[in-house]
Structure formats: C-alpha cells, structure tokens
Structure 1
Amino acid sequence: MKTKNIIASLFFLGSIAVSAQKYDIKTAKTYAEISAKTDGKWEGRKYKGGTVFKNVDRLKLAPEHTDHSFDIRYEGPGWESNRIGYRLYLDWRNAIDIFGKKTSEMILPKVGQDNFDSYHEMSDWGADILKAGKAIGIGSIDRYLDNEKLHFREVDSTIATVVNKSTQSGVKIDYYGWKTASDKIDFTSELTIKPDQLYTQHTIKASKEIKGICTGIAKQKNTELFKKDSKNKKWAYIATYGEQSLVPDKLGMAIFYQKGTIENNVETDLDYLLVFKPTTKATTFYLLGAWEQEVNGIKSKEEFVKYLDEKLEILNKKGKM
C-alpha cells in the first residue's frame, strides 16, 4: 500500500504541523499517529479551548508544551499493531506507555477523543494498562548519572514525525539541544512496529558520546524478573511478568538488547535500567508488552518465557527481528 504525503503545512500557535498521510486504516495491521488541537490558545503552560484534534504527519512542539498541557491527544504520538498499542509522553517525562488491546482492529484514532484521559477506563477496545509515574515506562530513553535520572527537562526543540506503510508503522522523534548536566546534544529515537507483532524496534542515535544514556523497564509490585543471554552471547533480554497492569491483571514486559552496547545494569527503586556505552553510532533494541486480555494473548508466565526464548533464538540466528 502506498502512502501519499500532502506537502501543505499548517502553522499554529508555536507548533508546526504537516497534514496527515492517506492510509487505509480499515485494512491495516499497523498504525501510527500524532494528533493536536489547532484552534485554541495557550494560557501559560495549558492549551485552552479548541474544538477538535487534528492528525498530522509532523509536529514541532510548542515552547509552552509540558505534561498535561492538553494540546496533544493522549499526550504524544502513538503506534500500534493488530495486537498491542504504545504511546510516548512527548514532554519532559519521555516515557513509553502501553495500550492493552482487546481487538485486532486499529484503535488509536478513537483513543482520547471523548475525554482527554478517558483511555484510563476500560472500554470495548481496551485501555491504558501501564502506570509509568516517575518510572521509565517500557523501553523509553533517559539519562542516568550520579544515581539520578535526568529526563528531558531542557530541550531546545522537539519534532515528532509519523510514517505508515503496509509493512510497518513508526514514529521518529528528533530532540535538538537536549541538555543534561554539562552536556548538550541532539538525539533521535525511531520506534517501529510490524504487523502481528508485540515488539517495537527502537533505534537511538546521539550526536555526541556521553555517559548514562539508558533504557529500561518500570519496576512494579507482584512481578518476577527474568534475564537470559542468547547462545552466541551477543543478545540478551530482561523481562518482568506478573499482575502489574492497571486493571490489575497479568502483563509481561521485556527488552531485547545487544550485550556489547551495554555498559552496566542498574536496579533502582523505580526501574530496571540498561545503561548504554557512550557512542554516536545508531543502537537498536526491542521493547514489548504482552497483556493477558489480548485476543489469543499470552496468559501465563510459562507462555511468556516461551515467547521470549523464541524471539531470543531469532536474534541469535539472524541478529534482528
């Protein structure tokens, strides 16, 4: 399926948007979007008024934007397969959250339309099932330095771009002038999801070698932690499983990573962190959630570990998924 980019740009209230691609969502098995209001106005850090959220392919954050500004539907870009959905808080938190799906249909266009955060309540399609809070969420990026996560509190500008193709959908985030401690860098995250899959491929790239760039999994109560290396010792996973969803019910979360890219593993009160070695080369890892209420979903620890081991074997043989 070919997508058609519409070149016309819309300029509004400190943000820049490019109108959304044409994409047959009724037959799609993946989908990505970002949706913002354009006809309200800023009052301090809150966006007031506005009658409708408009999907765009490219969005530059307004300088006023922060958490709970109400200008972006469900607070950032979202991407999904026919099995699971994700979203990224496009603000200082920069955390990835999980939408549990009870249907194979694409659900993101309806999420948060009736009320800003109605997706926290269970509906026919599912719900937001992960409480990120001050934790890293699942497979998000942060910086861990001197026993502290430094977040994305100071960024000169942030641009989100979404792409939908027949073979995959994805989100690219360009952070320009991300300042933490005494360092200021540009940083890119590319998040891609494929049909019939739970996992998201996350490729990151920094403009400068700095210590402490990290990803990880939010630590929740009532969970077990799993770790395993591939046979060739090049890949590994960390994972948690248990009654850790907001429902509450069973949810598994995992990250597959290249062992040679990791400087150290850190466990904090909030997170299980993987701290990357300083590099300016692109680094790819995989994040995923597995919810028991998914259609034909993974419903036990044993099924989850079996699934993880199968994916690890693919990485062992092919070096990619």
Structure 2
Amino acid sequence: MKYLFFLGCTALLALSSCSQREEIKIITLKNTDSVDLWQKAIVVQRLDLTNDKKFYPLLLDAKGDTIPSQVDDTTGDGEWDELFFLIDIPALGEVVLTAQHTDDSIAYEQKTAVRFGKRDGLADPVQPRLGDTLYADQLPLSIGYQPYQTDGPSWENDKVGFRHYLDGRNSKDVFGKKVSYMSPSDVGINAQGAVEDNYHVMLDWGRDIMPVGNSVGIGGIALANGDTMYRIGVTALDAVNNVDTTIFRVVGKGPLRSAMDIQYRNWEAGGRYYSLTEQPIIWAGMYGYQNTVRAKGMQERDTLLVGLVNIFSSQPPKEIIIDNQWVVLYTHDRQSYDQEWWLGLGLILPYDRYKGYTEAPKIGPLVDSYMAKLDISDDAPVSYYAVAGWELSDEGFRNRDYFEDYIVDLAKQLTAKVVIEISTANELQVGSEK
C-alpha cells in the first residue's frame, strides 16, 4: 500500500459522474456465520471490481448513505489494487452496496495513523520520514544519541496505539488512548524538535502504559532453534546490532487502514543467518493490530516466537481455541507502569501453526516474556494479532471476564467468512471469500 487515496462525494454528484464513465457496480456481502459482524474488514480486489484503473469507487448503502472507504496501491506501481472498508453485517445476513465512480475526493475522518520521525544529528531537529535504513553500527549507544522519535515508528487507530523500537531492540510497546482522535504529531519530541520522552506522563490523549524492559513486548518476534531462544536485535546496552541491515518503510497511511514494512537482513543467530520481514497493519475499530511475518533461512528445528510481556503478570496466560481457526493466548492484570491500571494483553494466533507457549529465560538479552511458538515454513507468511485493552480506554477492561469476552469475540469476528459477489446490471461477475 505505497499510496492511498481517500474517496468520497455526495450521492448526487456520484450519480452524475458515474453515468459518464461506467455502469454502477453492485457489491453483495454475505455473512456465512451465525455471528453478527461489527465493522468487519472487507477487501475487494480492483480486478474483481473493474479493469479501469481510473475508476475510483464511492460506496453507498441501500439508503444512499456513504460508506467510508479507501483504495490502496499494494504493489507500488502507482495504481490502486485494493478497495478497503468496514461494514456491519447481521448473522447469516447480507448487505448490498453500490460502487460508483467519483472524480471528487474527500478526506474521511482519520481513524488510523503512522508516525515516524528521525534526526540526522544530535543538534538537528526531528523530521517526519516515510522510512529509514539502520545499519549494525548505528545504534544509539554507538552514535551517542537516540535518532528516532518514540524510539521508532508508532501506529494507532481510534482505540489504541503501539510503537516499535527500531533502534535495534525491536520490541513492541503500547500507547493507551483515552480518545478516539489521533494523538498529536509531537509525541516524542519537544518544542525545539529534539527527541524527548514526554509520553510516560498522562496527557489528554493518553500515554505509554506498558513496561517492556528486555522483553519483545506485545506481538514482538524472536526465534528458537530447539530450546535456545534468539532475540532479533539487541538491548539498549549494546553498541553493535546482530542484524546487519534493518529497513523500515511506511507502506500506507489511510483513514481506515495503515501499514508498515520492517525488514531484517542478515540477522546472525547461533552461527546461522536469516532474513525476516514484518508487516504490521492496523485498521479502525479494534484494540489491536495484525502482523504478518516471513522468514528466510529457516531450518528444521527453528520455531517463530511471538511475545507476550509478563513483567507484571501474576498468573500464567490462558489459552482458548476458537473454532479450530485461532488460539487466544491472554493475560489480565495490573500490567501497566507501577501496576497502576488494569491492562489485558493477548495474542490471536493461527490454530494450525500454534505449538503451545513457553517462557523466556530469567536472564539474558530476552527475558520477561511468554513466547507463543508458531510453526513457520521457509519464506511462507504467517499472520497473527496482538491485542491490548486498557481500563482508561474502556472501564470494562478492569474486569478479566470482560477482556476475555472481547478478545474471544474479536477472534470469532476474524474467523467469520464473508462471501463477496460483484455484479453489473444484475449479472454475477465474481464470487469470493474474505
């Protein structure tokens, strides 16, 4: 999703422009599961909708109301490939939408964002960036300062925020949000544009709420060869990385969905070398994000590990199997700084890849984590979700059962299949499942 276009106009204007360009497309969405779907993420491929690269769809429901959407360029060729939107569909029901061409565009309410900034020198101000390359000898301890705003990229939606420690640690942290609007652009920098930790104090929008230490945080990754765990990257006390080259880029920033790409090239672990890619994606409406991981160089005894920080966990995580599709692994405790607030943390993991969980060592570069074990084939993608429910985002999250109900329901929502049928002038064109 290198570029995103935010589309919309009034129904009247859309009808007039559509008549000059192409027939109206009918998109029928059929919920095949006996569960009501709330803000279900739907992806329609452009080639299933139209061959016209300049056809920018405006979605309207049966009442003629606009459904916010965005189109994304997933291949980087400058043309959009996917139409993305969120929709409610009743259990075993269907929703019919029309897709009409529009030449006009509006900015829908921003419900997702990615923030990334860097300074080139200690005295230089932080500037917004769309990506960066970090070499093994460019860690903060070796260059003498922290180059990145919030230690690396942060991403959020209308419910929760996260950040990735791009500075060699490669952990994932949580920003608790008290508001639905996007947090200010100056989080992590001061009035002079210098990097500053100003997000561990409560502000109107929220704050950083979760201690990470030398864990990989919530949804961070590592690797195991047999019983030995290897951290992808190092700790804050190291001056040289074990990853030769780390490449980060913002893939897309849209009102409903935003995405990033992180590549770790020539990572040395136990005398072996690997290359891995992470692709975190966040969309509106859920207290979590999706991550997709690929790994090259995997060997027979290698296992992907996904972290669930346990610095303040008073009991082991609970496992719940959802329809033989997902495994929910979660904790619920006063897991925030100084154990001040209740915080539910969880992973939603693919059932067919899940091999149980283990605990990180008590000492070493990777500690304070429960580690979910996932079977992963060489260069084959595996996707999972990381979830964080803070009591100041929703007071219900003070209650363990409430958080369990939320993450289980989210997993069921993700399991539910929606059949997408696209037609023109009542002739069925495409049928697919998402």
- Give the TM-score, by structure 2 length: 0.63
Query: Where does residue 319 of structure 2 map in the other structure?
Result: 227
Q: Within 2, Cα distance between the matches of 1:164 and 1:99?
A: 18
Q: Within 2, Cα distance between the matches of 1:128 and 1:135?
A: 16
Residue 133 of structure 1 pairs with residue 224 of structure 2: no
Residue 209 of structure 1 pairs with residue 290 of structure 2: no
Structure 1 residues 183 and 222: CA distance shift in structure 2, 3 A: closer
Q: Within 1, Cα distance between the matches of 2:267 and 2:184?
A: 29
Residue 318 of structure 1 pairs with residue 407 of structure 2: no
- Tell me, yes or no, if the aligned pair for 1:94 and 1:142 is still in contact at 8 Å: no
Q: Alignment partner for residue 28 of structure 1, among 106, 110, 115?
A: 110
Q: Look up the equivalent residue of 1:170 and give its one-letter code.
A: A
Residue 54 of structure 1 pairs with residue 127 of structure 2: yes
- How far did residue 166 of structure 1 move? 2.9
What percent identity do the matched residue pairs reach?
24
- How far did residue 298 of structure 1 move? 2.7
Q: Deviations over 1:165-224 (max 9, x none)?
A: 233012210111111112212110000111121110000001222303211201133544
Q: Deviations over 1:122-145 (max 9, x none)?
A: 222211111110112101011234
Query: Where does residue 161 of structure 1 map in the other structure?
Result: 249
- Tell me, yes or no, if the aligned pair for 2:313 and 2:331 is still in contact at 8 Å: no
Q: Look up the equivalent residue of 1:71 and give its one-letter code.
A: P
- Tell me, yes or no, if the aligned pair for 2:148 and 2:167 is still in contact at 8 Å: no
- Tell me, yes or no, if the aligned pair for 1:80 and 1:108 is still in contact at 8 Å: no
- How far did residue 314 of structure 1 move? 2.3
Q: Within 1, Cα distance between the matches of 2:348 and 2:328?
A: 4
- Give the TM-score, by structure 1 length: 0.83
SS in 2 for 1:120: coil
Structure 1 residues 25 and 74: CA distance shift in structure 2, 3 A: farther
- How far did residue 312 of structure 1 move? 2.4
- How far did residue 285 of structure 1 move? 0.4
Query: Where does residue 101 of structure 1 map in the other structure?
Result: 177
Q: Within 2, Cα distance between the matches of 1:297 and 1:129?
A: 17
Structure 1 residues 63 and 185: CA distance shift in structure 2, 3 A: closer
Q: Within 1, Cα distance between the matches of 2:321 and 2:202?
A: 36
Q: Within 1, Cα distance between the matches of 2:140 and 2:306?
A: 20
Q: Alignment partner for residue 81 of structure 1, among 157, 168, 184?
A: 157
- How far did residue 241 of structure 1 move? 0.4
SS in 2 for 1:304: helix
Which has the larger Rg? 2
Query: Where does residue 267 of structure 2 map in the other structure?
Result: 178
RMSD between superposed Cα atoms in Å:
2.7
Q: Look up the equivalent residue of 1:49 and give its one-letter code.
A: A
Q: Look up the equivalent residue of 2:163 and give its one-letter code.
A: R
Structure 1 residues 130 and 139: CA distance shift in structure 2, 3 A: same
SS in 1 for 2:408: helix
Q: Within 1, Cα distance between the matches of 2:108 and 2:196?
A: 24
Q: Within 2, Cα distance between the matches of 1:119 and 1:160?
A: 22
Structure 1 residues 273 and 222: CA distance shift in structure 2, 3 A: closer
- Tell me, yes or no, if the aligned pair for 2:113 and 2:182 is still in contact at 8 Å: yes
Q: Within 1, Cα distance between the matches of 2:223 and 2:410?
A: 28
Q: Within 2, Cα distance between the matches of 1:127 and 1:181?
A: 37
- Tell me, yes or no, if the aligned pair for 1:25 and 1:106 is still in contact at 8 Å: no
Structure 1 residues 49 and 58: CA distance shift in structure 2, 3 A: same
Q: Deviations over 1:256-308 (max 9, x none)?
A: 00122133421234211112224121000000111111156633112101101
Residue 144 of structure 1 pairs with residue 212 of structure 2: no
Residue 242 of structure 1 pairs with residue 333 of structure 2: yes
Query: Where does residue 277 of structure 1 map in the other structure?
Result: 375
